Structure 1
């Protein structure tokens, strides 16, 4: 992938945003258990960081997918993973289906303010009994005249406690399995909607994660994104956006963690010399650098396929699988090589170790990625 001066100018703008508007406050937001989306997103929108691939008519940038790569790489350099994850939900997880399939009126009402950072949004798919198994969702939208009446619960919803609207996947017919689901925009000020609780997590503390309750929530049928009954298919496409941007952030974060570990080993003395003089340590780091390079180049190839308008499902799946596993390897080495400092909560390594564990779970667990690969390879015998 070749980055132009325009890419590099955008990279600098996002890096400045991360270094000035995000990193200085990361500790504060981690302690608070939430990031200020309504304050931070307009600043990112001001540098063109939201709606990169969307129609300028609705506030998008009209750019191609290569600019999403740049955005993700710079977000991956943040001092925490929670805030970048919240931003990624806004930029590439809750909005793609609306941008691609939503009506003009729906996009004017919800996409435009989301891309300006004026509304925080979230994607509501997972449920207490249906995480990676999307076909198992039970939240139901029953039609009553020109309205949907929604009942159910959603779980593990990033940005869920502060979102102004949700991209909700719900059952809209009695068809089971993958059939009969629709994608609906639900404003969170609708009567009957509530946040059941904010979920405490191992890592990503600055990302608010909610359990959401729908008790006869009434929204217009015109809030349906695209065709009624095609929600599952739209969400599967939206998952590819999620898995790609997550993979880009993962390799960028892993490389930064390696670089910071090298810096530490240069100055940390043991047995009369810097720790970096230990052959085992530097060879292990060299090996991890090679693995990160391979993942990055694979992701670039996937991104080029997206830019060309080709299907990148297979590559997005493999990238997501390998990104989660490699990030864990890097985090484990970083903790080990920092010794006691790597285990101390006051140092960056401990947070990185906790945060990256989510990569192999969120957006489809490793086992789901393996299942998809097996299916793509024709190994679908039961």
Structure 2
């Protein structure tokens, strides 16, 4: 990714904000299992961080994607995955979708308040029976005189039980296959919407995840994004930016853990020598460092393709696949190097080890990404 001095100055600024608003507080959030996402969004919005690349006319800053790239890197420095998971939905998944396909009413009622930190967003595509197969969705949106009636259930949704609105992928029944999919903005205060929080998660314990159930929910026609039948295409475009963003966040997390592990290994002595002086440890850390450089370079190129307006779902999927796998590997080695102390959770590596497991399915399961990559290879590409 091509960055200039302005991007680096922004990095210094956003790092100070995240240190103050997240790094110093995240241990308490994780202990309590709750992150004050509404207050956090308001605070970050006051710093201009919720609309970095959004149109100026909608309250954003209208900046280039280099700022999104730096934002993702810095979120990766936070010693817990929860803030990045919750905020990525707000800034780099839902907001760009609303800016691209939202009606004037959606921009006025939803996008602009979200950029101001007044509304928390969710993207509701995954259902209890699965999320990777978009063509198998069962949530319906039946056209009425005033708009659509929505029925169905979405599960494992980031910000699901606290969101003020959700962008919901629905089946309309107006065409065959994926041609009848539509995206609707559904305020969660509408009659018939029920939100339930998931608890007892392995990782991302302070990030809200929940189930959204829709029972005869009446949604205005103006809250349709694009046209009926464009849901699949819009969702695929969303996947592209989401996967680029998640890849860069994962690499930021991997770098943080690797640096901390090297620091620990240099100070810890076994058989009279630092752990880094034992080839079994030193070479393993060197391999991870080399892999981190390679994957970071590839993810940066994928982000640059995105910034240039190129079709890069394949590249985004590769970046996300390799970055999240590398994070799991780095966290595993970090825990091993610390031994029993790591298992007891004396620092944030144990937390990262738990959080990193979600990378194999959040934002696209590894198997779904490999299926897409294989499709490009064989000429049968399909999400």
TM-score range, shorter chain: over 0.9
**C-alpha deviation, 1:59, in angstroms:** 1.2
> What residue in structure 2 maps to residue 101 of structure 1?
101
Please tell me whether the aligned partners of residues 41 and 117 of structure 1 are also in contact (alpha carbons under 8 angstroms).
Answer: yes
**C-alpha deviation, 1:197, in angstroms:** 3.7
**C-alpha deviation, 1:174, in angstroms:** 4.8
> What residue in structure 2 maps to residue 274 of structure 1?
274
Alignment of 1:103-142 (within 5 A): 103-142=103-142
Please tell me whether the aligned partners of residues 105 and 223 of structure 2 are also in contact (alpha carbons under 8 angstroms).
Answer: no
Please tell me whether the aligned partners of residues 120 and 162 of structure 2 are also in contact (alpha carbons under 8 angstroms).
Answer: yes
**C-alpha deviation, 1:310, in angstroms:** 1.3
Distance in 1, Cα, partners of 2:219 & 2:109: 14
Please tell me whether the aligned partners of residues 13 and 47 of structure 1 are also in contact (alpha carbons under 8 angstroms).
Answer: no
After superposition, the C-alpha distances for 1:6-57 in whole angstroms (9 at most, x for unaligned) are 1112111211122111011112211232311111112222333222222110
**What CA RMSD, in Å, does the superposition of the two structures yield over aligned residues?**
1.5
Alignment of 1:65-76 (within 5 A): 65-76=65-76
Give the 3-state SS of the residue equivalent to 2:191 in structure 1: coil
Q: What TM-score do you get using the length of structure 2 for normalisation?
A: 0.96
Distance in 1, Cα, partners of 2:2 & 2:229: 40
After superposition, the C-alpha distances for 1:107-152 in whole angstroms (9 at most, x for unaligned) are 1110001111111001000001131111111111112211311111
**C-alpha deviation, 1:176, in angstroms:** 4.3
Q: Report how many residues are paired.
A: 381
**C-alpha deviation, 1:229, in angstroms:** 2.1
Please tell me whether the aligned partners of residues 192 and 214 of structure 2 are also in contact (alpha carbons under 8 angstroms).
Answer: yes
Give the 3-state SS of the residue equivalent to 2:35 in structure 1: coil
> What residue in structure 2 maps to residue 347 of structure 1?
347
**C-alpha deviation, 1:351, in angstroms:** 0.6
Distance in 2, Cα, partners of 1:364 & 1:242: 10
Task: Give 5+ residue unaligned stretches, structure 2.
Answer: none
After superposition, the C-alpha distances for 1:222-259 in whole angstroms (9 at most, x for unaligned) are 11011122111101110111101000001111011000
Distance in 1, Cα, partners of 2:336 & 2:372: 33
Deviates more, 1:30-39 or 1:320-329: 30-39
> What residue in structure 2 maps to residue 326 of structure 1?
326
Please tell me whether the aligned partners of residues 156 and 198 of structure 2 are also in contact (alpha carbons under 8 angstroms).
Answer: no
Distance in 1, Cα, partners of 2:73 & 2:196: 34
Please tell me whether the aligned partners of residues 197 and 212 of structure 1 are also in contact (alpha carbons under 8 angstroms).
Answer: no
> What residue in structure 1 maps to residue 80 of structure 2?
80
**C-alpha deviation, 1:210, in angstroms:** 0.1
> What residue in structure 2 maps to residue 207 of structure 1?
207
> What residue in structure 2 maps to residue 193 of structure 1?
193
Alignment of 1:9-24 (within 5 A): 9-24=9-24
Distance in 1, Cα, partners of 2:197 & 2:6: 43
**C-alpha deviation, 1:347, in angstroms:** 2.5
Alignment of 1:180-259 (within 5 A): 180-259=180-259
**C-alpha deviation, 1:153, in angstroms:** 0.3
Task: Give 5+ residue unaligned stretches, structure 1.
Answer: none
